[in-house]
Amino acid sequence: MPMYRLQKEVWIPHPREAVFDFFSKAENLNRITPPDLHFEILTPTPIDIQMGTLIDYRIRVMGIPFGWQTRIQSFDPPHAFIDEQLHGPYRRWVHEHTFVSENGGT
């Protein structure tokens, strides 16, 4: 089966530390996930994100619920973190978040 890679860059007009803080809080996923996925965090909040943290979610695709578990594979504030799917809807899913200060923002 082929492996796909999606890369997306977004500039945000805020300091790197603030942007990293927002994206490294699992609770904020509800704010940035499309509503039609009915995204739900099952792990009790607040979640202390660090290397090895496990987070359980549920999403619905066309009304069908999918359980999803990710693990924080690396955590390097305020530069980067990686979360990978242990169980879920994808065969393999690794999400690398990298934060770079640029042009007065991130």
pLDDT tens per residue, range 3-39: 889 999 999 999 999 999 999 999 999 999 999 999 9
The answer to whether residue 32 sits within a structural domain is yes
The answer to whether residue 21 sits within a structural domain is yes
The answer to whether residue 11 sits within a structural domain is no
Cβ-Cβ contacts under 8 Å for 26 (sequence gap 6 or more): 41, 43, 45, 47, 49, 55
Distance, in Å, from the CA atom of 53 to the CA atom of 75, rounded to the nearest integer, reads: 10
- The mean of the pLDDT values for the chain is 95
The answer to whether residue 9 sits within a structural domain is no
Parent domain of 73: 16-98
The answer to whether residue 10 sits within a structural domain is no
Furthest-apart CA atoms within the chain: distance in Å: 43
pLDDT tier at 67, thresholds 50, 70, 90: very high
* Number of folded domains that form the chain: 1
Q: pLDDT value at position 3?
A: 82
The answer to whether residue 67 sits within a structural domain is yes
Neighbours of 90 (CB within 10 A): 10
The answer to whether residue 3 sits within a structural domain is no
Any idea what the Cα angle at residue 93 is, between residues 46 and 32, rounded to 5°? 45
